[in-house]
Amino acid sequence: MDVFKNFRMGHGFCKRLETLAIEETIPYLERALYDEIDGAEKSHAIENFRLAAEMNETGECRGTFYGMVFQDSDVAKWLEAAAYSLYQKPDARLHQRVRDVVALIERAQQKDGYLNTYFTVKEPGGRFSNLREAHELYCAGHMMEAAVALWECTGDTQLLDIMRRMADMMVLHFQGENSDAFPGHPEVELALYRLYQATGETQYRDLALQFINARGTSDFYQKELDKDGVVIWSKTVGNPAYSQAHKPVREQTDAVGHAVRAVYLYAAMADLAGETGDASLLAACKTLWQSITRRRLYITGGIGSSAKDEAFTVDYDLPNDTAYAETCAAIGLIFFARRMLELETGGQYADTMELALYNGVTAGVALDGKSFFYVNPLEAIQGVAGDTINHSHVRTQRAQWFACACCPPNAARLFTSLGRYAWGVSEDTLYSHLYIAGELNCLDTHGMRVALETEYPVGDTLQYRIVQADSDRDMTLAVRIPAWSQQTAVLINGETTDSVLTNGYVYLRSLRSGDTVTVKLDMRPRRMYPSWKIAADSGRVAFMRGPLVYCAEGVDNQGDVLNLSVSPKAEVEMLADDCIGDVPKLRVAGFRAADTNALYSAKPPQWTDAGITLIPYFAWANRGVSDMRCFLPERG
């Protein structure tokens, strides 16, 4: 059961994210799609749909397609975010603008159901001829997700009908000689499954499974290349691992290739494993999950360490200053984690989902909601970041927009649908995965209505109140206890309970109307030491408080972070009255090295005592250009 519509968010950190997306980011994205942001990269995405509509209606158009082959997907993700926004905060003017865009999309759809502006305007004879690169199915998938969201949140069916026509023609096309085809960029698989859930049409689910089963089982991409020789990006040629097509999915054991593609694929695999009961598909999901979280995951929840191919590399290769860690990849990891939670309850999934949300994703959006990071390094130094070949992808300031603008609308659709990730429901249990203040009302379906009051991730206390419980049903409240909380107290109606921790959750049974459950987490700041196998972090330490990773930024530390070292035994102080992004900074004792002005020296550095100020990683680069570092040397 999807609990999105059963949850209403209250105050707090995540409410700030939701409000920021609704009031600032979504309107900003709309202006960007219409090319109304002065000085920003051109989008042309709405104009592409207008050109496609004109081409359909007159046989020609006044203008040319502009942008990436997947430019349509930016509009789709904005529509999905807008749908969630309309559910959270009805807005008649926004709703009308959404309807206007959907009407334009319908005009751009061809008579047989095909929808893609690139191939309608620029390459009208080439549709479905380059699935390896051309992103037709990726764009279709995002538009399907938008269609389902609009139907769920507003009752509008126009886009749903449009995308059902597209899906129906896809079902017909990918039969017979085309049945071995599969997309280069996974996404349509999870979207088809979502379309199936909305409509009950099993043919959509079956096509999703067909694509998953075909991946890596044939030389389909080479057949495409041999047929027309079209190459958009050379990195896709001769490199099937880039698209997770190097092996059948059930035989894949390591997370490889383009990181966003990988986690979108794994999320769809988890969907279909749950739907079909396929044990081998579930086993592959578990193996790939372990590959990511045990050996290829940044402390921030970022994934994909290499700028080349935006990809995973090898185990423990996690450089800080050249990290790619695309915002979309962290979002995709959250998608994968939530689906794994639906298959089996496990704190490891929710812990990782929380880590990626509060760090790897939130860092991608400025505190004002109107500038963005595509890449999320763990170290950035002025004069190096963005200015050298190896660091050309790294920035010390967020951008207004991108030529490849996948991340901003992706973050917006996540921030406006967080209830879907906060709670889970089974037949007899409500699962609290993320601690987001608000109320879950499942009284009609599960006989319980529960409210959560908390200041988390600043505060350490979770207060659950059973607003109403059906006396005829014996529902259980299962609360995640994070692995990092070493000392956790759980009380029912003020009395300590001996709840047993099972797979990262405490299960609280036989709760009645008016009962309260209080959970007090261990939120003391803690040092995090990397595996010795991570070469980039040898001799270094990072700091966390709760789910938040902290970093040192030059603006708080006399303009420099490279000369700082941390004292190994110093207590870490929370600066309750000194906040950024509504979260307190930390202070730890350490040392500052004097600059000798020599490239190398036989003399050891001169150290002076220094108080090092740390800020939450998500908030860096919001106060002007500054150096930043997450892992600091520890000096005894």
Helices vs strands, H then E, count in the chain: 18, 22
Residues 6+ apart with CB under 8 A from 500: 506, 507
Distances (CA, A) of 372 to 214, 362, 376: 36, 10, 10
Residues 6+ apart with CB under 8 A from 386: 392, 394, 395, 396
Pick from 564, 573, 582: which is nearest to 631 by CA? 564
Catalytic residue (one of 30, 47, 136, 310): 310
Supply φ then ψ for residue 220, to 5 degrees: -55, -45
Strands 583-593 and 423-425: unpaired
Helix 92-108 and helix 158-173: axis angle, to 10°?
30
Question: What is the 8-class DSSP label of residue 368?
Answer: T
- Cα separation, 53 vs 69, in Å, equals 17
Residues 6+ apart with CB under 8 A from 601: none
Catalytic residue (one of 406, 407, 442, 551): 406
- Cα separation, 327 vs 597, in Å, equals 38
Is 406 known to be catalytic?
yes
Q: Is 503 left (phi over 0), alpha (psi -120 to 50) or beta?
A: left
Amino acid at 339: R
- Cα separation, 453 vs 464, in Å, equals 6
Alpha helices in 320-406 (DSSP H): 327-343, 347-355
Q: Is 418 left (phi over 0), alpha (psi -120 to 50) or beta?
A: alpha
- Cα separation, 519 vs 432, in Å, equals 12
Supply φ then ψ for residue 474, to 5 degrees: -105, 85
Is 310 known to be catalytic?
yes
In DSSP terms, 372 is beta-bridged to 365, 399
First to last CA, the chain: 53
> What's the CA dihedral at 615, 618, 622, 624 to 10 degrees?
70
Amino acid at 190: L
User: In this structure, how many other beta carbons lie within 10 angstroms of the beta carbon of residue 546?
Assistant: 22
User: In this structure, how many other beta carbons lie within 10 angstroms of the beta carbon of residue 155?
Assistant: 7
Instruction: Give catalytic residues, as residue numbers.
Output: 310, 406
